[in-house]
Structure 1
Amino acid sequence: MSTTTAVPDYATEFAGLPTLVTGAASGIGLATARRLSAGAAPVVIADHDGDGAERAAAELRAAGGVAAAVTMDVTDPESVRRAVEFVADTFGGLRLAVNNAGVGGPVTPTGEYDLDAWNRVIRTNLDGVFHCLRHELPAIEAGGAGGAIVNVSSILGSVASPGSAAYVAAKHGVVGLTRTAAAEYAAKDIRVNVVGPGFIETPLLREMDRDQYDGLVGLHPAGRLGTPEEVAEVIAFMLSPRASFVHGSYHLVDGGYTTV
């Protein structure tokens, strides 16, 4: 007796699942919004850059998707609350969320790290994810149909980087926060997972001195840097029913950087 496994219809896998993506005006967030929209998700683009969010949403609509934009500051709990309510008011609820918004920080030894810089990085990269979860989880639970959340950490959620105390601490914190929320909400059919992007190809990296750039590439067994679309594909998998038994998992997308 033979059995067959159904192949998912990637063009409709997120149909009817209202989705929020933070930090989605550019970079990994925008690539993720594009990927989810291509799977028929109604997507809300949230970003502190309101004009950029509007442009991104317009792009998705022009490509045939369903999208809206909202200005959101993840460091402000009220701003986050309003954004989550906007998703529910616009698309009838919340089922999926990607907490991607984040900032970098100065490269400074820990003993010399500027306190204002520390607070800015922690408030955005760790507190911001907490504020999002604090409003997204009840919103998904209220719908009664379950859902999924993916938080975006970094390879620096698993290893150190001298001079980046605040960023490393925040990204490690996101991993622990994710696992805690996953354990709390698994029985409610809400999956919470986290991805850790490595060095991703951006115009900023292309502006590096060629020797610096080549040296960075050389740290990757894959022999190249990643693309935002490669990270977005892993996020899409984690949100999809294909990952239905995956809870509290931390997935690195780093070209093998952390293996050596």
Structure 2
Amino acid sequence: MTDSYRGKTVIVTGAAGGLGRAIAQAFLSASANVVLVDVNPARLAACSSELSTSYPGHVLALQVNITDESAVEEMINTTTSKFSTLDVLVNNAGIMDHYDPVGGLEKAMWDRVIAVNLTAPMLTSKYAVKQFLEQEQGGAILNVSSTSALKGFIAGAAYTASKHGIIGLTKNTAVFYAKKNIRCIAILPGPMQTNVGDAWADGMNEEGYETMDKARAFDPELCELSKVAETVLHLCSQAGSVCNGACVTVDNAWGAW
């Protein structure tokens, strides 16, 4: 355990899932205060219970629909009421599509994926930036994109478009607030063992999946969640302060293929 984040407060969205939980634990192990944000009450309660036991006084759990602007604003206010400041926002929450190409894509699926994967990070970033500016101490936003932001065959049209959009949001935020000491970075993880596959419980476009699978001649090892989390920790730290607007692949060479 280190104290590199002692006195710092970090919000992690999608914190009850695989990567979010690993990121939250990494920040806690570095002595940060961590706000666990998730929409799933059962997973959030389990995650909060375990982490609160290991890191008493450093954990706040909030069930939030981050596609709801008023709920996001309240999330920021509750965070600062509890821990006084906000220093880092990790936009990790995301959902998968069914591998539908555009010709077979239902608008409802498109709307849902874009809302969670792109609109929600915009909303959380908006209110985080407002808080950073009010504090006049800067801050860091880390967006979790995907190697699907580099390729066209990794997922369906909705997910692919949403993760490309995160790259644009990251770069625009970095440029506009660099002079205010606010950084914005994205990571592009490769395949990981997470709960994102929950989206396939109610169906999958088999043709879309087969097309993706055939195009994937290179099959890397799964990325270890703890190692991805360590990368996040570094990028958001003072040691990573020269990284702004950067889009960092964390993928065991998946994106290089």
User: TM-score, normalization: structure 1?
Assistant: 0.87
Aligned residues: 242
Q: Report whether the alignment pairs 1:133 with 2:130.
A: no
Q: How far apart, CA to CA, are the structure 2 residues paired with 1:173 and 1:204?
A: 19
Q: How far apart, CA to CA, are the structure 2 residues paired with 1:204 and 1:105?
A: 9
1:50 to 17, 31, 41: 41
Q: How far apart, CA to CA, are the structure 1 residues paired with 2:190 and 2:126?
A: 27
- Percent identity over paired residues: 30
Residue 216 (structure 1) shift = 10
Q: Report whether the alignment pairs 1:219 with 2:194.
A: no
Find the counterpart in structure 2 of residue 4 from structure 1.
none
Q: Which string of whole-angstrom CA distances, capped at 9 and with x for unpartnered residues, describes residues 9-37 of structure 1?
A: x6111111111000001211000000000
Q: Which string of whole-angstrom CA distances, capped at 9 and with x for unpartnered residues, describes residues 145-203 of structure 1?
A: 11111010100112112761110100000010010000111111111100011101347
Find the counterpart in structure 2 of residue 259 from structure 1.
256
Q: Aligned pair in 2 of structure 1 residues 95, 158: CA closer, same or farther (>3 Å)?
A: same
Find the counterpart in structure 2 of residue 192 from structure 1.
184
Q: Does the CA contact (< 8 Å) of 1:154 and 1:196 recur in 2? A: yes
Q: Does the CA contact (< 8 Å) of 1:109 and 1:162 recur in 2? A: no
Q: How far apart, CA to CA, are the structure 2 residues paired with 1:22 and 1:54?
A: 14
Q: Report whether the alignment pairs 1:89 with 2:81.
A: yes
The one of the two structures with greater contact order (alpha-carbon pairs below 8 A, sep at least 6) is 2
> Can you give the 5+ residue segments of structure 1 that lack an aligned partner in the other structure?
1-9, 206-211
Q: How far apart, CA to CA, are the structure 1 residues paired with 2:105 and 2:233?
A: 36
Letter in 2 for 1:60: L
Map 1:14-25 → 2, pairs under 5 A? 14-25=5-16
Q: Which runs of 4+ in 1 moved over 4 A?
A: 202-205, 214-218
Find the counterpart in structure 2 of residue 234 from structure 1.
231
Map 1:28-67 → 2, pairs under 5 A? 28-65=19-56, 66-67=58-59
**For structure 1, which segment, 97-106 or 52-61, has the greater mean C-alpha deviation from structure 2 after superposition?**
52-61
Find the counterpart in structure 1 of residue 240 from structure 2.
243
Q: Aligned pair in 2 of structure 1 residues 216, 161: CA closer, same or farther (>3 Å)?
A: closer
Q: Aligned pair in 2 of structure 1 residues 162, 62: CA closer, same or farther (>3 Å)?
A: closer
When the two chains are superposed, the root-mean-square deviation of aligned CA atoms in Å is 2.2
